[in-house]
Structure 1
Amino acid sequence: MQSHSDSKPGGATLVLFEAEHLKANIRNALVEAALSPWQRSFLSDVLSKLEKYGGRARLSDKQRLKLNEILGGDGTRRQEAVTTSRTTRQTRRSRFRTPSFLSRRIRWWRRRLVRDAVVVALIVMAGLVYLVFETGPVQPFLGTVGKWSQAMGPVDQAFTVTDGDTVHVAGERAGTRLVGFNTPEKFSPQCEYERKLGERASSRLRELVKSPNLQLTKVPCACPAGSEGTDACNHGRSCGVLKVDGRDVGQILIGEGLAVPFICEGNRCPRTPRPWCG
């Protein structure tokens, strides 16, 4: 007679009755027992093999030993696993549940957005403080007629002093570079002496524009045709001549040692003179 199982080196073959009994126990364990992830994966693999091969399924001695450890020595689950309530399992799972990948990513992005918003706010505040202390008060003046966007000529809008050779007309996107001279840089100096001299030139220009007799006239920039008003021409700035009591402010600053001549011809300019750092 043939026994219920054949002992072979590759493991023992299960008869149909034993296979069905084992499948039922594994299903119950997967539903009710508190299993570790590894135990659950192991039982699922054995169940798949039993469902596929039935009584012809072959289990190694090691697999049988693990089944006995998980389900019990007689092929059934231990009593303590049977008596564990569903409420206790749910409480335990909720207590030790780790955050999902999506929730972790959402929290990470939320923290990053808050950090970036704080950094941007600090940069904006620093820029505002710099403008308040560096650009000085608005120096208004009234010209005669005209707007440079239609035709070059006098401007009838208020402006602020940016530095010794640049002003900014109210309502315009970019500043107006005063032509014929160059003052030391106070925003990007090559040395400390140039920065200090640039501050003096800016302060002197603010003093000059306090005069009631001002005239700012827009003139063509020395740029290729069609490029004026773009970044390719003078960094998007327009060009102008500012006179105080009939005198060009550039000539006044040059005479006081706060500027040097800077003459452009046609649509070309020489290299910007900056002799203050040697």
Structure 2
Amino acid sequence: MGWLFRPARPAGPLVRGLRRLADPRFYLKSVIVLGLGGLVLVPTVADLVNAGMKTVASAQGDCRILRVVDGDTLSLICPEDGMVSARLLGFDTPEKFAPKCLAEFIAAEKAAWALRTLIQKADRLSLKRQGTDPYGRMLVRLELDGVDVARAMIRAGHGRQYGGGLRGTWC
């Protein structure tokens, strides 16, 4: 009768693995990890492709676009200045890092991808520096194949005209 009341053996690796696969939390965690990876990894790879292939002509020398921060901000590396953040002039896009609602975040992602695509498709890129903003970012006009990027982004519906001052909501 002693064999009936013996303590159970601990579960082996196969049983533990099967239990994990049966747990819905495993799938939820997987989706979250893949989603976050997609939000970080995919844009980073796209930006690295642009950085390796695209130079931007400026009066101070050729710069490289390291990263599209959001639809109207870039990270550049320039010979004289090193790595700098650059705010594109003439338009405003939704905020990616401090969105006021989910719709603004989604629109910001779309705007950032639209800018990446425009940069990738362009043969000639040039920028004109026009000072710095209160946050220390370089203010620039970016032209892609002779077309102001502000006009292209506004025309595509990813931004709106902006010359400073109060900005409207995207929610």
TM range (shorter): 0.5 to 0.7
Q: 1:174 aligns with which of 73, 77, 84?
A: 84
Counterpart residue number, 1:270: 165
User: Aligned with 1:184: secondary structure?
Assistant: coil
Mapped pair 1:156 → 2:50: no
Q: TM-score, normalised by structure 1?
A: 0.41
* Letter of the structure 2 residue corresponding to residue 253 of structure 1: M
**Where do 1:62-101 residues align within 5 Å?**
none
Are the equivalent residues in 2 in contact too, given 1:181–1:254 (CA < 8 A)?
Answer: yes
Q: Which structure 1 residue ranges, 5 or more long, are not aligned?
A: 1-128, 148-154, 222-227, 264-268
Are the equivalent residues in 1 in contact too, given 2:70–2:111 (CA < 8 A)?
Answer: yes
Are the equivalent residues in 2 in contact too, given 1:176–1:237 (CA < 8 A)?
Answer: yes
Q: TM-score, normalised by structure 2?
A: 0.64
Cα deviation for residue 134 of structure 1 reads 4.9
Cα separation, partners in 2 of 1:162 and 1:216, compared to 1, 3 Å: farther
Q: 1:208 aligns with which of 113, 118, 143?
A: 118
Q: Which of the two has greater strand per residue?
A: 2
Instruction: Number of aligned residue pairs: give it.
Output: 126
Cα distance between partner residues in 1 of 2:41 and 2:154: 27
Q: Which structure 2 residue ranges, 5 or more long, are not aligned?
A: 1-36
Counterpart residue number, 2:34: none
Are the equivalent residues in 2 in contact too, given 1:143–1:216 (CA < 8 A)?
Answer: yes
Query: For 1:119-142, what per-residue CA distance to the aligned partner results, in whole angstroms no more than 9, with x for missing partners?
Result: xxxxxxxxxx77545554221322
* Letter of the structure 2 residue corresponding to residue 167 of structure 1: L
* Letter of the structure 1 residue corresponding to residue 161 of structure 2: P
Cα deviation for residue 161 of structure 1 reads 1.4
* Letter of the structure 1 residue corresponding to residue 63 of structure 2: Q
Q: 1:256 aligns with which of 144, 156, 167?
A: 156
Cα separation, partners in 2 of 1:144 and 1:256, compared to 1, 3 Å: closer
Cα distance between partner residues in 1 of 2:75 and 2:153: 19
* Letter of the structure 2 residue corresponding to residue 157 of structure 1: C
User: Aligned with 1:168: secondary structure?
Assistant: strand
Are the equivalent residues in 2 in contact too, given 1:216–1:240 (CA < 8 A)?
Answer: no
Cα separation, partners in 2 of 1:134 and 1:244, compared to 1, 3 Å: same
Are the equivalent residues in 1 in contact too, given 2:58–2:128 (CA < 8 A)?
Answer: no
Cα separation, partners in 2 of 1:244 and 1:195, compared to 1, 3 Å: same
- Please report the RMSD computed on the Cα atoms of aligned residues, expressed in angstroms: 2.2
Cα distance between partner residues in 2 of 1:143 and 1:189: 29
**Where do 1:104-115 residues align within 5 Å?**
none
Cα deviation for residue 173 of structure 1 reads 3.9
Cα separation, partners in 2 of 1:163 and 1:214, compared to 1, 3 Å: farther
Query: For 1:39-72, what per-residue CA distance to the aligned partner results, in whole angstroms no more than 9, with x for missing partners?
Result: xxxxxxxxxxxxxxxxxxxxxxxxxxxxxxxxxx
Are the equivalent residues in 2 in contact too, given 1:214–1:242 (CA < 8 A)?
Answer: no
Q: Which of the two has greater helix per residue?
A: 1
Counterpart residue number, 2:11: none
Cα deviation for residue 143 of structure 1 reads 3.6
User: Aligned with 2:63: secondary structure?
Assistant: coil
